[in-house]
Structure formats: structure tokens, C-alpha cells
């Protein structure tokens, strides 16, 4: 029996790259998958129904269960329709993998409003919109006495968590926001039987190959060499986090090459205290 037998999952941005590998693995492990992809460019321009349908065709040809969804998850209604499709086509929802992403890199002093808005919309609002509609469904199920055993896996990035990547202020801010959202959601949704975790992956995809320096970091493997930077090497962690027996919640994991690391967040590193009201001079002496 597959590790995800009987699970019903929606995976955003599953037409290409890492999301596509999640969809293929989930289906092989017995899940019914709603394969979402808008099919736009790296920068989020345009749309193409091809990638989502191609992944569905591949899954169905291999004997798996999948349907395509080409909604834009950066919109509230698109996210709602994605969640509704899982319920209407497969009869429920157990797993959300928020993965869709774009890049519009730029330095702060020259960044256009559209670069900021597009990246925040796809990553931060896109993650929240799908989470919001799924959480509404799970809350209703819980209140009706059908306590869910559900999982959300969000996609953060080292950019914004461990690496303050110059030129990615929009992307880093969105990804740090996704990590924070993950921790809040894990606290809030536990009562409805929902676990929430995030990954910060590194893999060879069109997104990373377009980022200066990244291609060299993840060269093509030699003949017979294990391809640790294949996007397929990210999906087993996501499959584990999605599985019914997994107890993990409220965590963020970096996954790259042959390593999986649990990341830790903000914490106090130094405290100064006063008995009276603060004076600028006092802070100036004691804080640096
Ligand atoms: N590849 C890496 O090394 C890496 C590193 C850190 C984070 N990530 C994150 O992993 C996720 C997947 O990235 P990838 O490298 O596989 O990129 P990718 O470009 O290969 O795949 C992303 C997919 O998301 C889809 N998409 C974009 N906007 C969408 C929208 N509004 N609605 C629906 N679908 C949409 C695209 O059409 C594309 O098929 C992203 O969130 C990315 O930020 C990737």
C-alpha cells in the first residue's frame, strides 16, 4: 500500500519543476491529486493550460488518479475554486501543498510596484488564499463531527530565511512571511486536526536555472551519478509530511542535495533592561 493511499491532495504550481514531482510521487503513492498550474512564464506573465493537463495525462497513463486545475492561485476566487474542485471531484480534501511561485528580482532602489505586487500576490497571498479556503472546509468538517487528519505543506525559501539575498527583497519578504504564516497556522488549525509545515527547497528547475550563479551550484550530474539536485529529490519529504501517520507540525525544513535540516526562527540573543523610562543616551551606550 502506498504511503498516501486514499489521501486527496491539491498541489499548486504542479505543472512544472518541484510541484510536478510532488504530483507524480503523490499519485504513485496512492493519492488523488488536483494538479493546479496557471502555466505562465518565470515572471508570472501569460497562461497556458498545457502543463497541468500534461502532468494529469502522465499520472492517468500510469494508472493514477488526477484532475487538472488551471486557476490563478494568486486570486481569492481561483484559490476557492481549486479547493472546491478537490471536494466535488474526489469527495474531500486531506492535503494542500502550496508550491506555485514566480520571480521578479530587482534591487530595492529600482524596484517597480508591479514587481513587488506580483511576487507578494503569488507567494504570500497565494499561499494564504488556498490555506484560507481549505481551513474553512476543515473547520466545517470538524464542527460536523468528522475530525480531519489533514496536512498543509507550504514552500518557503532559504532566500528570506537563512540567506538575505540581495536583489530578492520582494521574494525574500514573501518567503519569510510564508514561514511565519506556517507557524501561526499550525497553532490555529491544530484544533481542527490540521498539521502545517513548510519546506525551503533547492533544486534544479527553470526558476533556479534563471537565477545567476545557481546553475553552476547545481551542475548536471555525470553519467551514473546520483542527481541529488533533481526536483524529484524534494518530494519524498513533502510526501512524508502529507502522510496520515506523520506527527510533525509547526516546522520549517531546508531540503537540498542529500540533506534535510530543521530550521529555527527568531529568538532573543541579547536583552538590556531599565527600571525607569528609556533615554536615547542610555540605549546608545548599552545596545550596540
Ligand atoms: N527550485 C529551487 O531551488 C527553489 C528554491 C527555493 C524555493 N523554491 C520554491 O519552490 C516552488 C516551486 O518552484 P520551482 O523551482 O519548481 O519553479 P517552476 O517555475 O519550475 O514551477 C513553478 C510553477 O508554478 C506555476 N505558477 C506560478 N504562478 C502561479 C499561479 N499564480 N497560479 C498557479 N500556478 C502558478 C508556474 O506556472 C510553474 O509551473 C516555488 O514556490 C519557489 O519559490 C524553489
Question: Which tens digits make up the pLDDT trace of 65-88?
Answer: 999 999 999 999 999 999 999 999
pLDDT (average), residues 87-105:
98
Residue 88 burial (CB < 10 Å; 0-12/13-18/19+)?
exposed
Q: Which helix (H) or strand (E) holds 201?
A: strand 194-202
Residue 215 has pLDDT above 80, yes or no: no
Predicted confidence band of residue 160 (pLDDT cuts 50, 70, 90)? very high
Residue 186 has pLDDT above 90, yes or no: yes
Tens of pLDDT, residues 221-275: 889 999 999 999 999 999 999 999 999 999 999 999 999 999 998 999 999 999 9
Residue 212 has pLDDT above 80, yes or no: no
Pocket test for ligand 1, best of 10, 12, 15, 18 (most atoms within 8 A of CB): 18
pLDDT mean across residues, the chain: 97
pLDDT (average), residues 162-181:
97
Q: Is the minimum distance from the CB of 129 to ligand 1 under 6 angstroms?
A: no
Ligand 1 atom with the smallest distance to the CA of 214 is 3
- Per-residue cell: 102: 514566480
Residue-level pLDDT at 35: 99
Pocket test for ligand 1, best of 10, 11, 13 (most atoms within 8 A of CB): 13
Residue-level pLDDT at 210: 83
d(CA 234, CA 240): 11
Q: How far, in Å, from the CA of 123 to the mean position of ligand 1?
A: 9
Q: Is the minimum distance from the CB of 11 to ligand 1 under 6 angstroms?
A: no
Q: Is the minimum distance from the CB of 172 to ligand 1 under 6 angstroms?
A: no
d(CA 221, CA 109): 38
d(CA 275, CA 12): 52
Residue-level pLDDT at 176: 98
- Is 192 one of the catalytic residues? no
Residue-level pLDDT at 213: 74
Q: Catalytic residue among 137, 171, 192, 240, which? A: 171
Residue-level pLDDT at 211: 79
Q: How far, in Å, from the CA of 208 to the mean position of ligand 1?
A: 10
Residue-level pLDDT at 227: 93
Q: Is the minimum distance from the CB of 202 to ligand 1 under 6 angstroms?
A: yes
CA-based nearest residue to 128, from 198, 50, 26: 198
Q: Is the minimum distance from the CB of 205 to ligand 1 under 6 angstroms?
A: yes
Amino acid at each position: 500500500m502506498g504511503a498516501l493511499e486514499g489521501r486527496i491532495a491539491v498541489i499548486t504550481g504542479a505543472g512544472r519543476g518541484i510541484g510536478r514531482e510532488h504530483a507524480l510521487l503523490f499519485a504513485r503513492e496512492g493519492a488523488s491529486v488536483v494538479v493546479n498550474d496557471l502555466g505562465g512564464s518565470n515572471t508570472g506573465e501569460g497562461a497556458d493550460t498545457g502543463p497541468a493537463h500534461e502532468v494529469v495525462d502522465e499520472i492517468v497513463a500510469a494508472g493514477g488518479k488526477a484532475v487538472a486545475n488551471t486557476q490563478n492561485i494568486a486570486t481569492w476566487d481561483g484559490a476557492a475554486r481549486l479547493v472546491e474542485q478537490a471536494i466535488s471531484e474526489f469527495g474531500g480534501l486531506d492535503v494542500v501543498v502550496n508550491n506555485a511561485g514566480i520571480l521578479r528580482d530587482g534591487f530595492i532602489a529600482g524596484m517597480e510596484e508591479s514587481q513587488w505586487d506580483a511576487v507578494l500576490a503569488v507567494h504570500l497571498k497565494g499561499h494564504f488564499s488556498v490555506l484560507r479556503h481549505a481551513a474553512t472546509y476543515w473547520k466545517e468538517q470538524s464542527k460536523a463531527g468528522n475530525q480531519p487528519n489533514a496536512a498543509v505543506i507550504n514552500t518557503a525559501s532559504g532566500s528570506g530565511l537563512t540567506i538575505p539575498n540581495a536583489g530578492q527583497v520582494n521574494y525574500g519578504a514573501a518567503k519569510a512571511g510564508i514561514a511565519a504564516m506556517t507557524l501561526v497556522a499550525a497553532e490555529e488549525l491544530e484544533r481542527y486536526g490540521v498539521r502545517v509545515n513548510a519546506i525551503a527547497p533547492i533544486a534544479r528547475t527553470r526558476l533556479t536555472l534563471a537565477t545567476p550563479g545557481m546553475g553552476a551550484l547545481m551542475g548536471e550530474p555525470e553519467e551514473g551519478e546520483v542527481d541529488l539536485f533533481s526536483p524529484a529529490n524534494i518530494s519524498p519529504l513533502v510526501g512524508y509530511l502529507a502522510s496520515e501517520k506523520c506527527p510533525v507540525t509547526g516546522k520549517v525544513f531546508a531540503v537540498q542535495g542529500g540533506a534535510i535540516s530543521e530550521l529555527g526562527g527568531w529568538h532573543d540573543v541579547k536583552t538590556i533592561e531599565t527600571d525607569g523610562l528609556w533615554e536615547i543616551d542610555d540605549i546608545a551606550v548599552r545596545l550596540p
